[in-house]
Amino acid sequence: MTDHPVGPVLRMCDEVESVIAAIRDDNPDIDIDVVDRGAYVRVHGPGKVRVTEASLQRHLGPSFELRSLQTMLSSFAGRIHTSSDEISWEWATKRTGAPA
């Protein structure tokens, strides 16, 4: 187990292995741990984990949209950041951007 593991918790579905492969592609320098709990799969790595729409499309087909991944998420660890082409989960020790 890593210090400060972050990443998605995915509902079990036909696409889960492809999503895991895409996450591994986008995080080549870190060890991605996968814990199969039957109804869901916890995917996590140390500090920061990301997945891009491009990697998901390589594994799931060109019509796959990043927003479709959000329907597979049952939970996640860390602070989630989304953009039009990437989702990332990051460990944060304090809130940023809070009003003064």
The residue segments making up the domain with residue 22 are: 5-90
CA distance 36 to 42: 7
Is residue 96 situated within a structural domain?
Answer: no
Is residue 97 situated within a structural domain?
Answer: no
Is residue 76 situated within a structural domain?
Answer: yes
pTM above 0.85, yes or no: yes
* pLDDT tens digits for range 39-84: 999 999 999 999 999 999 999 999 999 999 989 999 999 999 999 9
Share of the chain above pLDDT 90, in %: 86
Question: Residue 78 sits in a domain of what CATH number?
Answer: 3.90.56.10
Is residue 77 situated within a structural domain?
Answer: yes
Is residue 14 situated within a structural domain?
Answer: yes
Tally of domains within the chain: 1
CA atoms in the 13 A half-sphere facing the CB of 8: 22
Give long-range contacts, CB 8 A cutoff, 24+ apart: 77-85.
77/5, 77/6, 77/7, 77/9, 77/42, 77/44, 78/4, 78/5, 78/6, 78/7, 78/48, 78/49, 79/6, 84/53, 85/52, 85/53, 85/54
